[in-house]
Amino acid sequence: MRIAISILLFMALSFHLVVQLSIVTWYEVNKDYIAKNLCVNRNKPELKCCGKCYLKKQLNKADQQTDDKQAPSKNSRISIEAFVIPAPVKIRAFYNEELSIFNPGYQKMYGSVYEGSIFHPPSVLFS
């Protein structure tokens, strides 16, 4: 199922590219015919158009057709309404303030307290 969806999505995204590629390929195959019969500038050989004007016209026409099928409008605006809180809101703390006053462990930012009188190095090293 995922493969089918991914193939369908790939085809939908690459449709525009395939259309343009097919127009350019058709132009390259039929370049002589387009230059002699369909070119706008066929009576002006000094421009050396060779049907490129017709190719440009066809590519623009394909772009307009695909743009019509896309999103509704490029000029549409998206407005985000600002949300204003009318009264101050008290946010509850993550710790209990009364508990931190009476318990000194909550006032320190680490979990254990170092006691120097308990720690001492061994009296005999390995002999």
pLDDT tier at 6 (50, 70, 90 boundaries)? very high
> Considering the domain boundaries, does residue 27 fall inside one?
yes
Q: What total of structural domains would you count in the chain?
A: 1
pLDDT band at 44 (very low <50, low <70, confident <90, very high): confident
CA atoms of 39 and 51, how far apart (whole Å): 5
Pairwise CA distance, residues 39 & 93, whole Å: 76
* CA 114 centroid distance within chain: 51
Is pLDDT above 60 for 50? yes
**40 within a domain of the structure (yes/no):** yes
- Taking residues 38-55, what's their average pLDDT? 84
Is the residue at 119 inside a domain?
no
Rg, the chain, Cα only: 38
Does residue 78 belong to any structural domain of this protein? no
pLDDT score recorded for residue 5 = 92
- For residue 29, being part of any structural domain is answered with yes
pLDDT (mean) for 30-43: 86
92 falls within a domain: no
Q: How confident is the model at residue 102 (pLDDT cuts 50, 70, 90)?
A: low
Domain ranges, residue 44: 2-69
Whether 71 has a pLDDT exceeding 70, the answer reads no
**pLDDT of amino acid 104:** 57
Domain assignment of residue 81, yes or no: no
Choose the weakest-confidence range: 29-43, 47-61, 81-95.
81-95
Residue 118 has pLDDT above 80, yes or no: no
Domain membership of residue 122 (yes or no) is: no
Choice between 122 and 38, residue whose per-residue pLDDT is larger: 38
